């Protein structure tokens, strides 16, 4: 997960705390591990919380991955059958072309390359959620 994903998860946790929603055992375990990293192992809080960008990466890199994730999610949905709304799915070639018209900076050739890149496999699922890596939501 990139730091933007971690920040989104910590913000959801903050909302849970503010609403005084009881924590799950896994959340207690995770908090204990994070506090141990910070207090016992003297690890920087940003690193322990997953909020630090690795050397050579930046917030702009993470934002670019989220944008790519949004485009690939759109393609995944456009090529998936939608029986509820009776909308026929697009072919992948048509979806690449249409997505390149909707999203600035993406050509059909680049989208094809990104679609088949193994490191983006998790972005090709039409059913994605808030806590998924590189989530567009």
Query: pLDDT 10s digit of each residue in the chain, 137 long?
Result: 789 888 988 999 999 999 999 999 999 999 999 999 999 999 999 999 999 998 888 999 988 998 999 999 999 999 997 778 788 899 999 999 999 999 999 999 999 999 999 999 999 988 888 778 888 77
Same domain, 117 and 63: yes
pLDDT of residue 57: 87
Same domain, 44 and 78: no
Same domain, 72 and 120: yes
Domain boundaries, position 15: 3-48
Asked whether residue 137 is assigned to any structural domain, the reply reads no
- Residue 71's CB is within 10 A of a number of other CB atoms, namely 24
Asked whether residue 135 is assigned to any structural domain, the reply reads no
Same domain, 29 and 83: no
Asked whether residue 130 is assigned to any structural domain, the reply reads no
Residues ≥6 apart with Cβ < 8 Å to 127: none
Q: What is the pTM of this model?
A: 0.72
Asked whether residue 133 is assigned to any structural domain, the reply reads no
- First CA to last CA distance, the chain: 14
Same domain, 37 and 8: yes
Which of 64, 39, 59 is closest to 49 using CA atoms?
39
């Amino acid at each position: 997960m990139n730091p933007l994903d971690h920040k989104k998860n910590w913000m959801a946790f903050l909302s849970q705390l503010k609403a005084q929603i009881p924590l799950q055992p896994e959340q207690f375990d995770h908090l204990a591990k994070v506090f141990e990293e910070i207090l016992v192992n003297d690890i920087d809080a940003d690193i322990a919380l997953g909020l630090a960008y690795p050397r050579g990466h930046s917030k702009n890199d993470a934002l670019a991955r989220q944008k790519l994730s949004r485009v690939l999610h759109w393609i995944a949905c456009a090529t998936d059958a939608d029986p509820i709304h009776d909308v026929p799915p697009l072919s992948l070639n048509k979806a690449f072309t249409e997505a390149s018209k909707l999203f600035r900076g993406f050509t059909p050739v680049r989208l094809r390359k990104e679609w088949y890149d193994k490191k983006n496999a998790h972005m090709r699922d039409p059913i994605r959620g808030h806590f998924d890596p590189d989530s567009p939501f």
